[in-house]
Amino acid sequence: MPQWVNKLNRKLTVWLWWLVLIGVVAALPVMYARSQTEASADRTALVIDYRDVLQASAAQGNPEPFMTEQLDRLKKAGVNGAIVYESTLEELTWSREAAVYDAQGAAALQGKPPEPGDNNTYVLFLKPEHVSELKPIIQSAFARHGAEVTDWSIEGQQGVVIHMGYADAMMRPMMPNPIEMQKLKDAGLWIVPRVSDRFDTFDAKEMNNWLKTFKQYGVDRVTFDGEAVPGFSISAPGKRQLSGVLQFAQVLNQNGIGIAAFENLKTAQKGVEKLANYVDYNIIRAHSVTDGEMAIIKATELRDRILLAVKDRNIRMVFLNAMPTKDPIKGKVTFPIDTIVTALAGSDKDASDGSGGAVADLHHFGFEIGVPQAFTVHHAPAETVLRALAMLGAIAMVATVAGMFLPSLISLVFVAGVVGGAGLYVLRPTLMVQALALFVAIAAPTAAVILLVRRLRATRGESLGVGRRLGSAVLLYIRTAILSMAAIPMVVAMLNHISYSYVLQQFRGVSLLHLGPIALVAAYVFLYGSGNTVTENARNILRMPLTVVWVVGFVVLAGAGYYYLTRTGNAGNVSSVELAFRSILENTFGVRPRTKEFLLGHPFMLLGIFLALRYRWATVLLVAGTIGQLSMVDTFAHIHTPLILSISRILLGLGLGLLIGFVLIAIYQAADKLRKRGMPA
């Protein structure tokens, strides 16, 4: 490599660090704007599955008083809303609005044998005052399902015949029952209809009629049932014709109705991302406690779950199922309404010590129970320019790390990053910012630990006492953490779009983030800086004799690595012991620090620095300590978590990790003294 190129690369390294600093500073106003956005919606709703309560009442001797009593209990406990579904004939039987028969049942009712070939469904209205409302709903729905509906009566009582098989007809969806919605409105509950894409065709006019009816009952938001949003199955037939999702969005906008999207569904509902964009992100995040979970969950667990969902993940609607189940042990039908009431309002014990339930917890953290609203998006002044500077700083950070391994290529990497990034931003802006966010998230903790390794190698020859080593270790611990956190403002700025807060888009490459810095730091520790070339160091490692200890160590590391990677993201399984430990941390500090930071990464980092100031072998501990550095950046990759909470979490992790690191150092020092005493003079 020509001398002038090496000189240019050395000068460029200094300037790249200045660009990193500029990128960090430019990103700070964008971070502040995001915090304002997150603070703009502090009302959350606790909603009950009304169909479950209706079904539970159908199993009672006096359904109406039971329904009134349970809704009153739930409302007093803190429930302020109810989800209603598209109605079905079966649901009409639960609400005692109609009796539904197959051909044989209808014939028996009339005292005559069924006619051969009759496989129709017979609906008899039980409340004459509601026929005028329910009959048009049935006629309209089954016309869309392709079935003829004709009049029928018995002994002067009105009904209809649906020319469709009984089993099929019982499942077909109709418009949510307006009679039940009126009951809920009269009870003072916020209503959220749950609509689907289960009709064979999407009729925008009919949906508009639905929404206008919903508005009469105070509905300002709908959510979705099934695998897709209404209209998803209807693609745009031509250039000037609209897709079903866009037609649905238009009628939502015309009626001023927003949407709610559920998190962590087994299969993501199709069309939500497009629909959210079409309604200008008039959306809230919802969390569902499923029927299966509600059947076994304890009130204390439900209380913690509600609080964490709202406080940690920007959830603004918690959906509580109350499906009745047949309990063979108790020999009766049971339902979890008591669990819900206790979780929300607290038990007698909670009342005596003043702690309350989930509602009190939410109030303590600044949330109100009410009708939730979408976030009001705030922007920093000249945000486009600030984000561009953050991107430039991120490219500079990535180029700097590349230069730590291949110094001669630092200028080439930087130029390629700027030119390639600009080109990709024009073609695929989302892909570009997601890729750059991942690269800088990997680069910052890698650079921080590599610079730490260099500093330790440069000072190892100095004779330092225990006190000075400890003081130096603490300062280096803090410096390394600050350098690692340099990526945080840039990641936040680059991904500062409301769709990330709603998890309609996400930070990509979490597993790579958890593996990349560790691998790069390990490569630097073992292959760089020992006086030999990288090739020679690699050969020396490969020539080392393979022993049983090495094999066992490799298996242990592989197992630990596999467990570590499976626990990244939101999909890892958590044991009951760890859940209990998390709950203790949450209740103690109000914010749960990440275990991999304060129990693993940070203590090993401090211990490693302390020992590496004297012993060369201790540098290996810094590889394990890298976990804490990358985890701090990863905390902010969970963009649905409020910024203030993420900041509190990493600072608490650093503080606790420092204390645990002191304990490890004390244990090592004590063990070292005992070892020296046992050595022969």
Give the end of a domain, one of 369, 396, 417: 369
3-state secondary structure of 195: strand
Q: What is the pLDDT of residues 365-391, one digit of tens each?
A: 999 999 999 999 999 999 999 999 999
Ramachandran bin of 529, using left for φ above 0, alpha for ψ from -120 to 50, beta for the remaining angles: left
18 lies in a domain?
yes
Give the end of a domain, one of 369, 401, 436: 369
* Contact call for residues 369 and 78 (beta carbons, < 8 A): yes
Q: What is the pLDDT of residues 113-145, one digit of tens each?
A: 888 888 999 999 999 999 999 999 999 999 999
Q: Are residues 617 and 600 in the same domain?
A: yes
* Contact call for residues 634 and 441 (beta carbons, < 8 A): yes
Compute the distance between CA of residue 535 and CA of residue 513 in angstroms, rounded to an integer: 26
Q: Are residues 433 and 566 in the same domain?
A: yes
Q: How confident is the model at residue 615 (pLDDT cuts 50, 70, 90)?
A: confident
Beta strand 332-334 pairing with 325-327 = antiparallel
Q: How confident is the model at residue 679 (pLDDT cuts 50, 70, 90)?
A: low
Residue 394 host element (H or E):
helix 383-405
496 lies in a domain?
yes
Q: What is the pLDDT of residues 1-48, one digit of tens each?
A: 566 666 777 788 889 999 999 999 999 999 999 999 999 999 999 999
Token digits for 656?
């606790």
Domain total in the chain: 2
Tokens 């009950």 belong to which residue?
A: 48
Compute the distance between CA of residue 449 and CA of residue 455 in angstroms, rounded to an integer: 10
Token digits for 98?
């109609």
The pLDDT, as a whole number, for residue 681 is 45
Tokens 């430019």 belong to which residue?
A: 26
Mean pLDDT calculated for residue range 68-82: 94
- Burial degree of 551 (CB within 10 A; 0-12, 13-18, 19+): exposed
The pLDDT, as a whole number, for residue 431 is 94
CA atoms within 13 A on the CB side of 423: 6
Q: What is the pLDDT of residues 221-257, one digit of tens each?
A: 999 999 999 999 877 666 667 888 999 999 999 999 9
Lowest average pLDDT, out of 320-334, 439-453, 500-514, 607-621, goes to 320-334
State the alpha helices, DSSP H only, in 460-509.
466-484, 487-494, 498-501
Q: Are residues 393 and 347 in the same domain?
A: no
Q: Are residues 271 and 397 in the same domain?
A: no
231 lies in a domain?
yes
How large is the C-alpha radius of gyration of the chain?
A: 31
Backbone angles phi, psi at 636, to 5 degrees: -85, -5
121 lies in a domain?
no
Compute the distance between CA of residue 432 and CA of residue 448 in angstroms, rounded to an integer: 24
Q: What is the pLDDT of residues 526-558, one digit of tens each?
A: 888 766 777 777 777 777 776 766 666 666 666
Residue 502 is part of which domain span? Answer: 3-39+382-678
Q: What is the pLDDT of residues 558-585, one digit of tens each?
A: 666 665 666 665 545 566 666 677 777 7
The pLDDT, as a whole number, for residue 555 is 67
376 lies in a domain?
no
404 lies in a domain?
yes
Q: Are residues 355 and 455 in the same domain?
A: no
Does pLDDT of 633 surpass 90? yes
Residue from 383, 494, 504, 488 nearest 432 by CA: 494
CATH number of the domain that residue 60 is part of: 3.20.20
128 lies in a domain?
no
110 lies in a domain?
no
Q: Which residues pair with 289 in a beta bridge?
A: 320
Q: Are residues 336 and 400 in the same domain?
A: no
Q: Are residues 15 and 70 in the same domain?
A: no
DSSP string, 316-372: EEEEE----EEETTTTEEE-THHHHHHHHH--HHHHHHT---HHHHHHHTT-EES--
Q: Are residues 439 and 530 in the same domain?
A: yes
Residue from 333, 335, 361 nearest 70 by CA: 335
What's the mean pLDDT when you consider all of the chain? 89
The pLDDT, as a whole number, for residue 567 is 61
Q: Are residues 33 and 49 in the same domain?
A: no
Q: Are residues 653 and 541 in the same domain?
A: yes
The pLDDT, as a whole number, for residue 400 is 95
Q: Are residues 456 and 577 in the same domain?
A: yes
Backbone angles phi, psi at 282, to 5 degrees: -80, 75
Compute the distance between CA of residue 304 and CA of residue 298 in angstroms, rounded to an integer: 10
pTM of the model: 0.89
Q: Are residues 513 and 397 in the same domain?
A: yes
Give the end of a domain, one of 369, 399, 431: 369
CA atoms within 13 A on the CB side of 532: 11
